[in-house]
Amino acid sequence: MPGAIYAEGLVKTFGKVRALDGVDLDVPEGTVLGLLGPNGAGKTTAVRVLTTLLQPDRGTAVVAGIDVLKHPDAVRRSIGLSGQFAAVDEYLTGRENLTMVGRLYQMGGRAAKARATELLERFHLTDAGDRPAKTYSGGMRRRLDLAAALVVSPPVMFMDEPTTGLDPRNRQQLWEVIQELVAGGTTLLLTTQYLEEADHLAHDICVVDHGRVIARGTSDELKARTGGERVEVVVHAAEHIGTADEVLRGFGKGASKIEQHTRKITVPVTGGAKLLAEVIRELDVRGVEIDDIGLRRPTLDDVFISLTGHAAETAEGNGGDGDGDGKDRDGKDRDGKDRDGGDTAEGGEDGNGKPGDGDGGATAAGDAPAGRRSAAGKGQRR
């Protein structure tokens, strides 16, 4: 039986870019699927198709048992969405934003207010709750947007990079909220660029690259393919790189990686802290002075190297601005069309939604990391 989120052969092209190139997904009810991939991999496109905001060129999708293409309205009633770009009303306060969502979902006034208070508390926004959202920091908007997605508890939730832009404490808290949600039976699809996050939250992980699923499995399965943990050593002097590399390869379970400019050598290992102590001893015996040494878990980059033989590349050559999301900094495509200009087939599909319609709302572009604009004020369908 297909799961709560099911997709087969999804294809979506934007001009020459195949944003989705035959994606199959199956998320059993009550589980979390992590869609893991670099900038431009197709994560947001997949979320937009599954949440009825974008029509695929080919393929089928069924969410909460309902055909996404045939009955989009019914699907929208069964899902919650927290998009990549926080969609809050700038001029309303945090409390008003949340109350409004409750009212849209037909909650009574008192119930909507109570729910808003509860969520403000849960997302540490109580103090800021009565200020207009336009005075919020990026992380606060993000949290408000996530709170809004949780006003009602839909059976199926989509979160597009929910923790991007959150500081470590807020990230941890959000992880807890997500875990509670899933313990309560919600099915969740979340996208992320962090293996650690997918590892922590997701039952199953799909690694996506250039619109294709290049690997899928549990986090343990992926890590096993990736060769588990890494020992990372920074040597004090460049002339010791060769000796240190020799030592590390002796302990390693796969190819070592040398970064000349940072004098860093990395190798996959099994054996944990005990092994680390042995590596330190051996480096000492060989006279290698080290600045730093540590054991770390594999990152998305490590997964990519072991799966594809190369590091995760952003989608350059897709007409991007170098941040790999294929969008120019002002949120327009290279040819100057609005982000959604390429989606002519959708007609009015986006309604007021237009996530990423990329006008002047993308104010935080300047100092935001690649692709992390906050287009606050952009509505989205819930």
Whether 375 and 85 have beta carbons less than 8 Å apart is answered as yes
Residues 292-331 binding ligand ATP (CB under 6 A) are 315, 318, 325-327
Q: Is 16 helix (H, G, I), strand (E, B) or coil?
A: coil
Query: Does residue 10 interact with ligand ATP by CB under 6 A?
Result: no
Of the listed pieces 18-26, 43-51, 223-231, 349-357, which binds Mg ion according to CB under 5 A? Answer: 43-51
Residue closest to 29 by CA, chosen among 55, 57, 58, 1: 1
Query: Does residue 204 interact with ligand ATP by CB under 6 A?
Result: no
Residues 12-31 binding ligand ATP (CB under 6 A) are 14, 17, 19
**CA quadruple 110, 108, 147, 330: dihedral sign:** negative
Query: Does residue 256 interact with Mg ion by CB under 5 A?
Result: no
Q: Is 373 helix (H, G, I), strand (E, B) or coil?
A: coil
Query: Does residue 163 interact with Mg ion by CB under 5 A?
Result: no
Residues 68-87 binding Mg ion (CB under 5 A) are 84
Of the listed pieces 35-43, 103-111, 127-135, 219-227, which binds ligand ATP according to CB under 6 A? Answer: 35-43
Q: Residues 6 or more apart from 372 whose CB is under 8 A from it?
A: 164, 165, 364
Among 3, 34, 42, 94, indicate the residue that binds ligand ATP (CB under 6 A): 42
Query: Does residue 332 interact with ligand ATP by CB under 6 A?
Result: no
Cβ 256 to Mg ion, closest distance in Å?
32
Cβ neighbours around 175 below 10 Å, total:
16
Whether 355 and 48 have beta carbons less than 8 Å apart is answered as yes
Closer CB to ligand ATP, 43 or 240, in the complex = 43
Cβ 40 to Mg ion, closest distance in Å?
8
Query: Does residue 164 interact with Mg ion by CB under 5 A?
Result: no
Query: Does residue 51 interact with ligand ATP by CB under 6 A?
Result: no
333: Cα within 13 Å, side-chain hemisphere = 17
Query: Does residue 333 interact with ligand ATP by CB under 6 A?
Result: yes
Q: Tell the burial category of 130 from Cβ atoms under 10 Å away from its Cβ (0-12, 13-18, 19+).
A: exposed
154-193 footprint of ligand ATP as x/- string (CB under 6 A): ---------------------------------------x
Cα 294 to Cα 235: distance, rounded to the nearest angstrom: 12
Query: Does residue 342 interact with ligand ATP by CB under 6 A?
Result: yes
Residues 83-142 binding ligand ATP (CB under 6 A) are 84
Residue whose tokens read 């926080």: 86
Q: How far from chain centre, in Å, is Cα 252?
A: 30
Q: Is 363 helix (H, G, I), strand (E, B) or coil?
A: helix
Cα 268 to Cα 228: distance, rounded to the nearest angstrom: 6
Q: CA 37 → CA 65, 69, 207, distances in Å?
A: 27, 25, 6
> If binding means CB under 6 A, how many residues of this protein chain bind ligand ATP?
24
Among 34, 44, 53, 147, indicate the residue that binds Mg ion (CB under 5 A): 44
Binding interface with ligand ATP (CB under 6 A)? 14, 17, 19, 37, 39-45, 84, 193, 315, 318, 325-327, 333, 339-340, 342-343, 371
Binding interface with Mg ion (CB under 5 A)? 43-44, 84
